[in-house]
Chain A
Amino acid sequence: MTQFTGRNLVCVRGERRVFAGLDFAVDAGGALVLAGANGSGKSSLLRLMAGLLPPASGTLSWDGAATAADPEAHRARLHYVGHLDAVKPVLTVAENLRFWAGLRPGRRAGNPGDSVGPALETFGIAHLADVPGRFLSAGQKRRLTLARIVTAPAPLWLLDEPTTALDEAATASLEAAIAGHRAGGGMVVVATHTKMAVDGARVLDLSGFAVRSQGAGALDS
């Protein structure tokens, strides 16, 4: 069975060690909810998992193979949703979505097929397809960002506060999308402050790995 794991991860941000000695594992169809106070490193851990941030030490592996060995293959199997929505104000909703869909593997660029329409419908913004991004509200931009991850299949979803600015209906759509993704064998790692219904998710509390009263960061290690 496919498994995404991290062993003994250490994260250094700026000159501060955010967490150390962190382990996690997600199985196919599994979910991991990251908990912890502000500054405990939830976003950093997600960026680490995505490969945007190299761990100061420790390894991430996919089915036992280190992701650092083949970063492009790793990027091909993940979707990342960060704090920012990456919506271009001068492109329409459909154009925004089509651009990102066209960059995914397994489909010809520029011809992302028919997945754009259903993806917009999933999050209830199909009627906005021709509206330029600059007219969207914060919640609508967020829905568009989430529609991006359902246009192209990828086994691993990394979601950083995905419910920010979402109303209840959209949150429910997201929960349904996550459930569908997991039913198909996908994995989800999500950091959230709000209540989200993620059945049978493992919870990883990052407060337990915080580094306290450690020396002068990298220099003293």
Chain B
Amino acid sequence: MIQRFANPNRFMRLSAAVVPWMAGATMILGAAGLYLGLFQAPADYQQGESVRIMYVHVPAAWMALFCYTSMAAASATALIWKHPLADLAARSTAPIGICFTFLALITGSLWGKPMWGTWWVWDARLTSVLVLFFLYLGYMALVNAFDDPARGAKAAAVLALVGFVNVPIIKFSVDWWNSLHQPASVLKLGGPSIHPSMLAPLLLMALAFTTYYFWVLLVRLRAEIISGKIRAIRLRQVHG
């Protein structure tokens, strides 16, 4: 039983060593990606300079999904193997994921204005990301709705899994709904024929966002573990 639990002290030592590397990688990859994306990559012949929003928007959207998947995986680990770090990881991932989702929505909206002439269209992708945003919101509300953090974590883990099963169903439904109401007039992004000069900054930014995620996740996990220790000291004051 005891061996199965990850030793938080070892985690604290390991994470302390990894955090600066993650921070450094984020800075370097991000700087390189932004430089290539903003100054080196060509402007689109149709979209002009506004195409450069893509280098933030697309990785953010990827990360929104990536974080939700990690959250569900961590929740499953917590429910099945009762790994205490998994609960913390799921809970710490949610705020990061919702920020990426929000970033994807905002940049999508900013990009939409010059492209489609409107801040928002009920396009299948935008709508799906909006629903994903609400799923994150529900998860975070549930985690924090209980006086006992363990109860909140467990309830939220069930919700994360239910939500994860539902994401493809929602995506399918929204696609169907969208094809019914809006003929494919909306410009679709990307496609396979993306030029290498655009692909390089895109991938660099995606990598930078990923290392950023792990960086913040580790910092948040460390903070959670420390606050858990503070709670334990408080409990000892009460129960002797």
Contact = CB atoms under 8 A, between A and B. Distances in A.
Direct touching of A and B (C-beta under 8 Å): yes
Interface of A: 14-16, 39, 56-57, 212-213, 215-221
A39 B240 CA distance: 11
A57 B1 contact: yes
Interface core residue of A15, A212, A218, A219 (most chain B CB under 10 Å): A219
Given A15-B235, A219-B229, A220-B8, 20 more contacts: A14-B151, A15-B231, A16-B239, A56-B1, A57-B1, A212-B240, A213-B236, A216-B229, A216-B231, A217-B235, A218-B5, A218-B84, A219-B5, A219-B8, A219-B84, A219-B228, A220-B229, A220-B232, A221-B1, A221-B5
Nearest to B234: A15
Does more than half of chain A's interface fall in helix, strand or loop, or is it mixed?
Answer: loop
A221 B232 contact: no
B225 interface: yes
Contacts of A219: 5, 8, 84, 225, 228-229, 232
A221 B2 contact: yes
Nearest to B232: A216
3 closest Cβ pairs, A-B complex: A216-B232, A14-B148, A57-B1
A212 B238 CA distance: 11
Contact of B149 (A15, A39, A212, A215): A15
B1 A15 contact: no
Interface in B127-177: 148-151
A219 B233 CA distance: 13
A192 B175 CA distance: 61
A15 B150 contact: yes
Contacts of A39: 239
A37 to B, nearest CB: 10
Given A218-B84, A219-B228, A14 B150 contact: yes
A57 B225 CA distance: 23
Contacts of B225: 219
Interface string B203-240: 00000000000000000000001001101100110011
